Each structure stands twice: as structure tokens, then as C-alpha cells.
Amino acid sequence: MEIGLNHYLILSTILFAIGLVGIMRRKNLLLLFFATEILLNAVNIGFAAISHYYGDLTGQMFAFFVIAIAASELAVGLGLLIVWHKRHGNIDLDTMTSMRG
């Protein structure tokens, strides 16, 4: 059957929902980052699909920049994670509650 834009968008949504499950569920900070990557990739699929079906290159441009941003975010995030681990010895979310309101 013909694969249309809707198929890709539904796929993107399902992957996004899986990413949401991940970020809600994970208590280890590093694994949380994995789930964030899933979110970003889901969105990239959406962008590329729309770009293909509408004949517009804007979607792919956005996908590029998302990849670039994801990479830099990862670098800084891991650096911070390392500093935290040096100080506290673990990276469990339930112990990081000093920002309590």
C-alpha cells in the first residue's frame, strides 16, 4: 500500500511517546539522556518526512541543526555529569533534590 505522510508522522509520534516513557521512568541520569536522544530522533524523522512529501528542503535543514545541537548538548551534559559524579559518587535522580521548593 502507498506509504503516505501520515504513516511517517504516526511512526514519529510512537517513537516520541516511547521517549516520553523513558524520561518519566528512568532514575539514572545517564539513562535519562538516552531517552532524550530518542525524543530528538523521533522529531528528526518527522522533519525529514514532511520535507520529502512537500518537496521542501527546510525540514532537512532543521534536522541538521537538531543533530548539531544534540551533539553539543551531549558534550556539555556529560561533562557536568562527570563533575557531579566526582562530588557525590552516584547519579541517582532521587538523591538530587537540593532544588526543593
Partner 1 sequence: MEKYLYIALFAPLVSSMFSALFTNTPKKQFVGIIASLLIFSAFVSSSILLTHILGGGEIVHVEMMTWMHTGNLYIPFGFVVDQISVTMMMVVTLVSTIVHIYSIGYMDHDKGFNRFFAWLSAFVFSMMILVMSDNFAGLFIGWEGVGLCSWGLIGFWFHKEVATWAANEAFIMNRIADLGMLIGIFLVYWNTGSLQYDIAFPAMAHLDTATLTWIGIFLFVGAMGKSAQFPLHTWLADAMEGPTPVSALIHAATMVTAGVYLVVRSNELYDLIPNVGLFIASLGAFVALFAASMALVNRDMKRIIAYSTLSQLGYMFVAAGLGAYWVALFHLMAHAFFKALLFLGAGNVMHAMHDELDPFKMGGLYKKMKWTAIMMTVASVALAGIFPLAGFFSKDAILEAAFAEHHYIIYSVILFTAGLTAFYSFRLVAMIFHGEERYKLFGIDPHEAYKFMLVGMSPLLILAIIAGSLKGTYFEMITELLPNTEYHIHSELTFWIMTIGTQLFVAIAIMYAYKKYAFSPVTLPDGTSKTENSFMYKLLINQYYIPYAYEEYIVKPYNELSAAMWEVDKKVVDASVDGIAGMFYGLGENTRDMQSGNLSTMLKWMVGGTVALLSLAVVFGLAARYSDEILTILSGLGV
Partner 2 sequence: MFEAVAFYLFAFLTITMFLITVLSSQALYALSALAAGMIFISAFFFILGADFLGAVQIIVYTGAVMALYAFGMMFFDTTREVKEKKGNKFIIIGLSTLAAVMVVAIFAAPIVSTNMQAFYPMIDGVGNTQQVGLVLFTKYLIPFEVAAVMLLVAMVAGIVLAGKKMDLSLTLMNAEDIKRIEDEQNKKVLS
Interface residues with partner 1 (CB under 8 A) are 20, 23-24, 26-27, 32, 93-94, 96-101
Task: Answer positive or negative: Cα dihedral of 21, 26, 29, 35.
Answer: negative
Is 72 one of the binding residues for partner 2 (CB under 8 A)?
yes
Nearer to partner 1, 2 or 94 (CB): 94
Q: Which three cell numbers stand for residue 11?
A: 511512526
Q: How far is CA 38 from CA 9, 10, 19, 20, in A?
A: 15, 15, 5, 9
Residue 78: which of partner 2, partner 1, none does it interact with, CB under 5 to 8 A by kind?
partner 2
Is 43 one of the binding residues for partner 2 (CB under 8 A)?
no
Spatial CB neighbours of 81, under 8 Å, sequence gap ≥ 6 = 29, 30, 91
Neighbouring C-alpha atoms within 13 Å toward the C-beta of 26 = 16
Nearer to partner 2, 92 or 96 (CB): 92
Binding residues for partner 2, rule: CB under 8 A, are 1-3, 6-11, 13-22, 24-28, 30-31, 33-35, 37-38, 41, 44-45, 48-49, 51-52, 54-58, 60-61, 63-65, 67-76, 78-83, 85, 91-92, 94
